[in-house]
């Protein structure tokens, strides 16, 4: 919950957010649900027993992490 609060506040409490996740216990717990409700954030889940509806998001973040987060600058030495 502190991670969500930190990011939410760092971005100046944006409106119109949707929080999509799997059905992990940390995301369906009452305190987290109350936090999202208090922040006016809509919660979205994958269908129970059907994780494939999240495939598009997983694929996007896979490439985002691969191409943007783990960037290394390679300099070419001149002869």
Domain boundaries, the chain: 2-69
Angle (deg, nearest 10), helices 30-38 and 2-10: 10
Distance CA 41, CA 34 (A): 10
Strands (E), 5-66: 18-21, 42-45
What's the CA gap between 21 and 36, in Å, rounded?
13
Confidence of residue 76 (pLDDT cuts 50, 70, 90): low
* Predicted TM-score (pTM) of this structure: 0.59
**Token match 């943007």: residue?**
68
Torsion sign (Cα): 33, 53, 10, 39: negative
pLDDT band at 58 (very low <50, low <70, confident <90, very high): confident
Reported as a pLDDT band with limits 50, 70 and 90, residue 79 is low
**Mean pLDDT across the chain:** 80
């Amino acid at each position: 919950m502190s991670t969500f609060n930190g990011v939410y506040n760092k971005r100046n409490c944006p409106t119109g957010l949707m929080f999509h996740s799997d059905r992990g216990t940390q995301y369906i717990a009452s305190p987290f649900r109350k936090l999202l409700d208090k922040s006016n954030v809509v919660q979205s889940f994958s269908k129970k027993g059907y994780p494939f509806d999240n495939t598009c998001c997983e694929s996007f973040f896979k490439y985002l992490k691969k191409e943007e987060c783990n960037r290394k600058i390679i300099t070419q030495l001149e002869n």
